[in-house]
Amino acid sequence: MTAVHTLDVRGLLCPLPVIRTQNRVRDLEDGEVLEVVASDPGVLHDIPAWCRIHGHRVLACDERENDILFRIEVARG
Amino acid sequence: MTAQPQSQTSPTRKRAAALISGGLDSMLAAKVVLDQGVDVEGVNFFTGFCVEGHTHAIRRKDRSREKRNNALWVAEQLGIKLHIVDVIDEYKEIVLNPKHGYGANLNPCLDCKIFMVNKALVTDVLGRGYDFVITGEVVGQRPKSQRADTMPLIAQESGAGDRLLRPLCAHNLPPTLPEREGWVDRAKLYGFHGRDRKPQMALAHSFGFTDYAQPAGGCCFLTDESYAGKLADLWSSRGVRDYDFDDIMLLKVGRHIRPASHYKLIVGREEGENNFLAGYRKRFVHLTTLSHTGPLTLVDGAPDTDDLILSARITARYSQGRNADEVSVEVHHLSGAVEELRVTPLSPTELEPAWQVGA
Ligand code: SF4
């Protein structure tokens, strides 16, 4: 089973959550999944845009109270 | 230090890093080179002063607008990758000690450009081995950093030399390595100059770009007179030219009022700002209004008892109770103790104009 990695960027404002996500994804392999939990609503726009640019897949995006949770599947190549 | 070009995709296809600010010029510059078959990737530097992002997220009135990061938007329109680099710490040296000085406010544009070109190409901060770097600079567009005599300086001092290509004004400059080697066709570059934006807009139109961002002034808060005033005030009140990330974030938010050199108030102007300031509650003495709806005020510095009474009166002045005889204000001390003060809101005539920092 593929390992799920996690990243907590709550309290950070855009573009920092995207930067942290980008830097974390850099170390992951093709098919690995990263769960990002954020609080700035700006990520609702920025993280999917960043994923589209780099070819990664947004598997899920859930808003829970003040948290926004993304599941991203890393694509390489 | 010299750039180490290493084309990874194919031996003939050259790789370029385009500095992408999110504005039109860098978008056009990247597009012009992309259309010549060069493998272009975008690089965006986050200095902490960028107008992008933060403030849109903080201020509630901006929330209704679509919040897009323009650099990401540009990359998506162009179909290129975008790498956002956090340079907050390193950039401090540029802001605090710019070798070439400041522009109209505290914007060290020339040193900033040199820094960014160097990082992208020479230091190869991304480790991706680019053959050259592209910027959207236009000769004569900005009074300091984009002049005929400063453009060669950026190339030279960044270490990029003739691997720095400015596609929008290339015809006004000597041919660079990418042009001489035929990696790009000089005839298909441009000769824009001066402050007239019409050529850029026409080129944008020809590419079918319509919804691009047009930031007024510059790409960062350092060009903003009010912001620069607040930063200068921070330095002079502390007696040291320094800052950390929270300092520069807080300068973007609220009214800044300094009744005396040893303390300053940051008063939230609306709900979004109050929420943002609330994130700093544990680190500052802060005030809230009890009897009326009002702002959250952070007190930066070392206020004494009288100062806190004045702070309470100022906070009351910006509450719904500004015309009331008395407003009840809570002072939250760093120890966690909460003290209630009943004060008369400060009248507009009592609020000294000189207290308003950056106004
Ligand atoms: S406006 Fe700001 S980001 Fe742009 S070149 Fe000047 S200092 Fe750098």
Which residues surround ligand 1 with Cβ inside 6 Å? Answer: B 107-109, 112-113, 145, 218-220, 222-223
ipTM attached to this prediction: 0.95
pLDDT tens for each residue of B266-309? 999 999 899 989 999 999 999 999 999 999 999 999 999 999 99
- Catalytic site positions of A: 14
Domain CATH code at residue A49: 3.30.110.40
Nearest residue to B219 (alpha-carbon basis) of B28, B97, B47: B47
To test the pocket of ligand 1, the residue of B113, B119, B154, B248 to mutate (highest count of ligand atoms within 8 Å of its CB) is: B113
CA of B91 to the centre of ligand 1 (A): 11
pLDDT of residue B61: 54
> What does the pLDDT read at residue B126?
87
Q: How far apart are CA B246 and CA B73, in angstroms?
A: 27
Vertex B79, ends B77 and B80: CA angle to 5°?
115
pLDDT score of B359: 83
What tokens were used for B106? Answer: 């505290």
Q: Are the CB atoms for B150 and B171 separated by under 8 Å? A: no
Task: Give the model's pLDDT for residue B66.
Answer: 57
Q: What is the mean pLDDT of chain B?
A: 91
pLDDT in tens, B34-83: 999 999 999 999 999 987 655 555 665 555 455 689 999 999 999 999 99
**pLDDT at position B3, please?**
46
Among partner residues A11, A14, A22, which is closest to B53 by beta-carbon distance?
A14
For residue B113, the model assigns a pLDDT of 96
Alpha-carbon Rg of chain A, whole angstroms? 11
Residue B211 corresponds to which tokens in the numbers above?
């919804």
Q: Which residues contact A63 (CB under 8 A, 6 or more apart)?
A: A44, A69
Would you state the pLDDT for residue B1?
Answer: 43
- Tens of pLDDT, residues B105-151: 999 999 999 999 999 999 988 888 999 999 999 998 877 777 888 99
Read off the pTM. Answer: 0.91
pLDDT classification of A60: cutoffs 50, 70, 90: very high
CATH class of the region B2-220: alpha beta
Q: Write out chain B residues lying below 8 Å of A54, CB-based.
A: 81
In chain B, which residues fall in CATH 3.40.50.620?
A: 2-220
Residue from B8, B84, B246, B248 whose CB has the most chain A CBs within 10 Å, to mutate: B84
Closest in B50, B68, B86 to A45, CB measured: B68
Residue range of the domain that includes A37 = 4-73
Contact present, B22 and B69 (Cβ < 8 Å): yes
Inter-residue contact A65 to A16 (CB < 8 Å) = no
What residues 15-74 of chain A have any CB closer than 8 A to a CB of chain B? Answer: 15-16, 18-19, 22, 40-42, 45-46, 49-50, 52-54
> Which chain A residues contact residue B68 at CB under 8 A?
45-46, 49
Tell me the pLDDT tens digit for each residue of A3-57. Answer: 689 999 998 988 999 999 999 999 999 999 999 999 988 899 999 999 999 999 9
As a whole number of angstroms, the distance between CA B354 and CA B258 comes to 8
pLDDT at residue number A77: 72
The domain total for chain A is 1
Residue B10 has pLDDT above 80, yes or no: no
Which residue in A13, A18, A41 is closest to B54 by CB distance? A13
pLDDT tens for B172-229 read: 999 999 999 999 999 999 999 998 999 999 999 999 999 888 765 567 899 999 999 9
Task: Please give the number of the atom of ligand 1 that sits closest to the Cα of B116.
Answer: 8
Closest Cα partner for B199 from B24, B76, B78, B31? B24
Q: Per mean pLDDT, which of B8-12, B63-67, B238-242 is the most reliable? A: B238-242
Query: Which ligand 1 atom is nearest residue B220's CA?
Result: 2
Task: With CB atoms and an 8 Å threshold, state whether B57 touches A13.
Answer: yes
B122: tokens are 């020479």
Give the mean model confidence (pLDDT) for residues B255-265.
97
Helix (H, G, I), strand (E, B) or coil at B113: helix
- Tens-digit pLDDT profile for residues B312-354: 999 999 999 999 999 999 999 999 999 999 999 999 999 999 9
User: B157-175: per-residue pLDDT in tens?
Assistant: 999 999 999 999 999 999 9
Best probe residue, ligand 1, of B19, B45, B70, B107 (max atoms within 8 Å of C-beta): B107
pLDDT at A68: 96
DSSP run (H or E) holding A11: none
Task: Quote the Cα angle for B248-B252-B255, to 5°.
Answer: 120
pLDDT of residue B60: 58
CA of B219 to the centre of ligand 1 (A): 6
Beta-carbon separation of B57 and A14 below 8 A: yes
